Amino acid sequence: MSDAGALRRRMQADDLLSLDEVLLKVQVHRKHLSRLMNAHDATRLVLGLLFLSRKAHAAPGTGVPTWSWLLGQPAAGGSGVRAAVSKCLAHWLPTTDALDAGTRSLMPIPPPHSDEHLHALIQAIGSTQRVGPLLDQCLRDLSADQAGGSHYFTPVDMARLMVGAAVPRDRHRVLDPVCGSGGLLVESHRYVHDRVEVDPAMSLQGREQHAYTSQVARMNFAVRGISADVSPPGDSLAEPEREPHDIILANLPFNQRDWAPEDRTEQSTRRPASRVPADPRWPEEPPSRGSANSAWIQHIAHALAPAGRAAFLMADTVANTQQLITRRLRERLLRDDLVECVIALPPRVFGHTQTTACLWVLNKDKRARPGWGVRDRRRQVLFINARRAFELVPDSRARRLGEKNAALILQTLAAWRGLSEDGVAITPYKDETGWSRSCSTEEIAGHEYSLMPTSYATEPPSPERDTRSRIDQLKLELVDSLDMMRDLELRLLDVLEEI
C-alpha cells in the first residue's frame, strides 16, 4: 500500500514538473511573439491557441481545419504555420454576436516571422491535458498587458472573496454586468460545483461593453466547458435588466464619467442634457452625470430578485462622500434595508489603480432562514476593516489580498450571519476592535449615513493610527472635492448651452 502511495506521489510530482515546463515554454514563446506584435495581441493569440486545443475537433474526412491538423504542421516552410493558425481560428472562434460572424476577425493576425514561435506554442500546448493552469496564466498576462487602460481582470483571491460573500447556490440566476474575461462567473460555477459535486444547473449571464473582451470571455467559458450566456457587446447602464437575478457580482469601473446614455446621443445636436430620463432604477432622483458610481449601485439593486444578493467593488468615496445625491442614495439603501456588509479593502491590491475601494454586499432578505443563516440581521450592517489584510507578492513590491485574508473575511461574515458550511458548528460572532463591528441602521443614520468601515471598526488609539487616519481622511476629502468640481463643471456646461 505504501509503495502504491509512493508511486502515486512520484507520478504527481512528474506531472507537476511537466506542467511547470509547459508553462515556462508558453511564457518564453509568448514573450518572443510580443517582440513581433504588441504584448496584448500576443497574449490573445496564445489564448486563441488554448481555445483551439479544446474546441477545434471534427470527424476525419470533413475537410475542417482541426487542432490535430495544426499539431501536424511542419515547423519550417514559408508562412505555413501562420496561415494554418489563421485558418483554424477563422473557422472555430466564437463570435461576439451570433448574428455577426465577421467578429471573428477581432483575433489578431499572426505577424511575419512568427512561424517558429507559433509552432513551438502549438507543440507545448499539445503536450499536456491540463490547460486550466495555462489558461489562468494567459488571463493574468492579458490583464497585466491591458491594466494601463483600466480593463484589468479581477484577481483570483478577490473573486473568491466576492463569490464567497454572495454565496451562490445551485439553480441560481447569476449576473455580472461588467464581466470582463468572465472570472467572477467562472468562480461562481466552481464554488457551487465544489458543494454539489455535479455540474451545477446555474444560469450564468455576462455583459461586456468591449468586443475584444467579450470574445475573451466566450473563449474562457468554452475552454473550461462552462455554459454561460455572454450578451453582444453593449453598455449595461443603457437600460434596466429585463429579468431579476438571484446573485449579481461586479468589479465596477470606478468614477466613470459621462456615462448617461443621452450624453452620447445629444452631443451631436448640441441640446442640453442636464438630467437622466425617467427610469425605474432611480424613481426618486437621477444619479449624477459626473460619475456613474451611484448609477451602478441602483442598477444592481433594481436587478435583484426578492431574496437576491449582490457583491461589488466600489471606490471609497461613495461610502462617505457628503455630495448630496450620493448621501441620499446611502440613506435610501439603508431605509430599504439593502446593505448587509461593507468591507474596506487594502490599498494597492489592484494593479491598475491607486484608488482604495470597498466591497459592498447587498441583500434583499436579511431574515434568518434555512440555507442562509440563523441570525436575523434586519436593520443591521456589518463593517469589516481589512485595510491591513494584505500580503506581498513574492519577488515583487506589489500587494495582493491573499487566500488566507479572504478566508478570514468570509469567516467573520459567516459568523455574523450564523451561516454553517458542511455541517460545521456555527462560530459565535462578536465585534473585534480594529477588525469588525455590527451596527444598527439607526446608529449609521447618526453618522450622516456613512458606510465607511474605518469609521466604525476603528483601531485602538496610537500615534501611528492617528496619523494614518488623518492622511486617509485628507485623501477622501480631496477626492470628494474633485468629484464635486466635476459635477459642477457638467452643470455649468448645461447652463451655458441654454444661453
Question: What one-character-per-residue DSSP string does 116-147 give?
Answer: HHHHHHHHHHHT-S-HHHHHHHHHHHHHHHTG
- The reported pLDDT for the residue numbered 12 is 47
Alpha-carbon distance values, 14 to 8, 10, 77 (Å) = 10, 6, 35
pLDDT tens-place values along the chain, 499 residues long: 444 454 444 444 444 448 889 999 999 999 999 999 988 889 999 999 999 999 999 988 888 999 999 999 988 766 789 999 999 999 998 876 644 444 456 788 899 989 999 999 999 999 988 888 999 999 888 887 766 545 568 889 999 999 999 999 999 999 999 999 999 999 999 999 999 888 899 999 999 998 888 999 999 999 999 999 999 999 999 999 999 999 999 999 888 877 875 544 444 333 444 455 589 999 888 888 888 999 999 999 999 999 999 999 999 999 999 889 999 999 999 999 999 999 999 998 876 567 789 999 999 999 998 878 899 999 999 999 999 999 998 887 788 999 999 999 999 999 999 987 665 667 899 999 999 999 999 999 999 999 999 999 987 766 665 666 667 666 656 755 666 666 666 666 655 655 6
Give the pLDDT score at 153.
81
C-alpha cell at 194: 465544489
Which of 251, 274, 103 lies closest to 180 in space, CA to CA? 251
Q: What is the pLDDT of residue 194?
A: 94
C-alpha cell at 137: 496564466
Q: What's the pLDDT score for residue 36? A: 93
What is the structure's pLDDT at 98? Answer: 46
Instruction: Spell out the domains of the chain, with CATH numbers in brackets.
Output: 2-129 (no CATH), 147-363+376-407+430-485 (3.40.50.150)
Cβ neighbours, 10 Å, residue 254: 22
Residue 420 is predicted with a pLDDT of 76
- Strand blocks (E) in 145-232: 173-176, 203-206, 229-230
Helices 2-36 and 131-145: crossing angle, nearest 10°? 30
For residue 110, give the nearest of 66, 70, 63 by alpha carbon.
70
Question: Quick one: pLDDT at residue 477?
Answer: 64
Tell me the HSE value of 314 on the side-chain side, using a 13 A CA sphere: 29
Q: Please tell me the predicted confidence (pLDDT) of residue 263.
A: 45
Helix (H) or strand (E) holding 115: helix 115-126
Q: pTM of the entire structure?
A: 0.85
| Alpha-carbon gap, residue 41 to 302, rounded angstroms | 37
pLDDT the model gives residue 462: 60
Find all residues with CB under 8 Å of 292, minimum gap 6, and list them.
237, 253, 255, 256, 257, 259
Residue 382 phi, psi (nearest 5): -100, 130
Strand partners, 399: 392
Which set of grid coordinates corresponds to residue 325? Answer: 445625491
Residue with cell 493558425: 85
Grid cell digits, residue 441: 441602521
